[in-house]
Amino acid sequence: LKSFQVLLFLFCFCRGDVCKCGYAKTDHTDEAIKPEDFTGESWNIHRHVREAPTDAFGDISFGGLGQKTGKYARVSTDTSPEILYQLLTEQWKLSPPNLLISVTGGAKNFYLKAHLKNMFHRGLIKVAQTTGAWIITGGTHTGVMKHVGQAVRDYAMSSSMQSKIVTIGVATWGIIHNRKALVDASLPII
């Protein structure tokens, strides 16, 4: 699995200077930035997206205390679950999960009282530890996903860390900050 598929948005609905895909309007062709009411058609994945090989995969370093590293891969929405599972278990050597914990919710930030936050953190980590679960989130540092990230970070930094917690963030390419740094320009695109 050396080459992964990538979504290139050819037709995006833009507002202001930034498109819904996360790129600037100037990164699109004129046809791509026409508003829906002008073109008379709704956005359609099969018509407005094309796939191409990418080299956006590898290891990533997360800054801050304890400098942790992880792996990332940019894949298509059409990539089969079997291929993704093979990548995670065979290539990245993650132990197969006994349980999947999907933490979803809005990306809007909210205040969580200290005792509720502590209960959430402890409960999530305990369930993940005792079941050998993978925690899956939207992969951003906002809303409930931020609390998941903080819980896993705090656990990883604790001296009593007994087992590894697997956390997988699934985010759209366009919302990833500094995403261009995740593409290896030295590799040829085939």
At 18-33, the pLDDT tens digits run: 665 666 666 665 555 5
- For residue 103, give Cα distances in angstroms to 20, 41, 150, 159: 23, 34, 13, 26
| pLDDT tens, position by position, 106-159 | 777 888 899 999 999 999 999 999 999 999 998 888 888 899 988 988 888 775
Q: How far is Cα 109 from Cα 87, in angstroms, rounded to an integer?
A: 32
| pLDDT tens, position by position, 51-92 | 677 778 888 877 665 557 789 898 887 889 999 999 999 999
Domain boundaries, the chain: 54-182
Q: How far is Cα 125 from Cα 152, in angstroms, rounded to an integer?
A: 7
Describe the chain by its helix, strand, coil percentages, rounded to 5.
Answer: 35, 20, 45
Supply the pTM of this predicted model: 0.71
